[in-house]
Chain A
Amino acid sequence: MNSAFLVVVLITGIALVGAALLIAGWLSPRSFNPQKGEAYECGIPTRGDSWMQFKVGYYLFAILYLMFDVETVFLFPWAVILRDVGVAGLASIAFFMVILVLGLVYAWKKGALEWK
């Protein structure tokens, strides 16, 4: 039943965008002008394409994020049953966390968290 509701909510979201675009397309004026289709930048013609290289710093943070996000996924089921497993659960997750925190410390010492 819940997955049926999930589909209903998904369709609602798509229908909202679709219907609003349909109404907007119906109500809004339409005129074509080659200048209008230009990039909205500074008023002077744009130089070159924007699909180009960007700063590698963002990429480093994306990799670090992947590492910690996988950790988050592992922590969720552990958090649910922590009360039942008690001290054993605490000890076993401590190993996991220590290794991860060592990874963060390594990245910190290497300067991956600095913005240069």
Chain B
Amino acid sequence: MTEQVPRWASETFWKKTAIWVTGGSFVLLVFLTFDSMKQISAGGPRVPAFSVINKDISYRFDKTKQRYQPVIGDEAPLFGKVLTEAEAEMLVDHGKKTVQAKNCMNCHTLLGNGAYYAPDLTKAWMDQGWGAKASREQMMVDFLLDPEKNARTYGSNRKMPNLDITQPEAEAIVAFLKWMSSIDTNGFPHNFRAIGEEDK
């Protein structure tokens, strides 16, 4: 009976097609993954080394690329202390672990991924809500230590809960946020006016 089915509609033909399509796509994905890994390793072209937290980081519209880009500026050590690459990595690492252990991602978004109950943290480091660059670090730490007292609800009544964050954890989170804000995210978020860029 099966003789009547043309070859291009036969089970074996489509079995082979399925295998080749799947295999081909996967091989291509693996190849692209190797290239992406190279480009997004810390210290690579798109994701700066952890010691970038020693510098001033801003975000500006790039006329040639026609999109917003992170801009790495002069020395601006976090909490007034210049760190080596290894020290910076340890600090950012502690921050990242705290961000995970406190389950930040189920209220906030990081690089736009997560939950939508609280603001995006991608460029939180350079948000104008911190007022001025000089007082920003302290404000961020104070906020993390006691978010209820230092609530920034913008009239929404939505307050961050107290997550028992310690002083070293708070400083590490700030370091992590500062480092994350330096990642080249292809122009996301668009139109974002960074702190200190008000008049530009």
| B partners with A | no
